[in-house]
Amino acid sequence: MSRGLLSSFALIVLVMPASAGAWEWSIGANMSAGTTQSGAHSGTSTALGLPSNALTYQPGFRIGYGNSRRTHEFDLDGGALVIGEEGSTVSLIVGSLGYQHAFGRSPTSTPFANVGLGFLREGSALKAGTNATFGAGVGWRRVLRQERGDIRAEIRYDYLKGGGPFGRPDLTTVALKLGFDLWL
């Protein structure tokens, strides 16, 4: 599934029609504080990720591609955790492809909404599996001086399909995400 996600992102970037303004790249990070509940009603976990990471099922690294005003932006979020110890390996890899739309006419402060579709790959030396994840969020962003980037705050809901090699139940996460992007 990760190859399909990367291929989709590459296709969007390559065939995207040219607009009146140039499209530009960005790179950034996410931090989050949220609660995760299981579909099996086995409890709730609260996590704080500085930055967000695969262990909390939230990607921490972000690459974006948007128009010059950043009203339309596609982003690729990702993260990985791999632990290896004398013949044993545990890995968690999370990634998503999303679209973000900023509303309003202010050049410095705007609300936004986004949606994303992704995957979680979890594995060990003996078993591995991939599950789908999707989510949506709303937030507010503030453009930095000289339009070098932005800072953002977002309330986000994510759903992770259960299963995988370890029989994990469906999970839902509600989180406050804080982040920044440097516009290249």
- Which domains are assigned to the chain? 2-183 (2.40.160.20)
Please return the burial class of 18, using the count of CB atoms within 10 Å of its CB with bins 0-12, 13-18 and 19+.
exposed
With tokens 């290896």, the residue in question is 84
Give me the DSSP letters along 10-44: HHHHHHPPP-SS-EEEEEEEEEEEEEEEETT---E
The pTM assigned to this predicted structure is 0.80
pLDDT at position 50 is 76
pLDDT of residue 168: 83
Give the tokens for residue 175: 């989180």
Evaluate if residue 123 carries a pLDDT over 80: yes
Give me the pLDDT at residue 27, please.
95
Model confidence over 30-68: pLDDT tens digits? 999 888 888 766 778 888 887 787 777 888 899 999 998
HSE-CB at 54 with a 13 A cutoff on CA atoms is 19
User: Which of 69, 154, 62 has its CA nearest to residue 108?
Assistant: 69
pLDDT digits (tens, 9 = 90+) for 9-36: 555 555 554 444 678 999 999 999 888 8
pLDDT tens readout for residues 72-109: 999 999 998 888 888 788 888 999 999 999 998 888 89
Confidence of residue 176 (pLDDT cuts 50, 70, 90): very high
In tens, the pLDDT along 130-174 reads: 999 999 999 999 999 888 899 999 999 999 998 877 788 899 999
26-30, 94-98, 112-116, 120-124: range with lowest mean pLDDT: 120-124
Residues with Cβ < 8 Å from 136, sequence gap 6 or more? 113, 114, 115, 116, 156, 157
Higher per-residue confidence, 36 vs 117: 117
Task: Give the model's pLDDT for residue 105.
Answer: 82
Two structure tokens written together for 146: 């000289």
* pLDDT for 9: 55
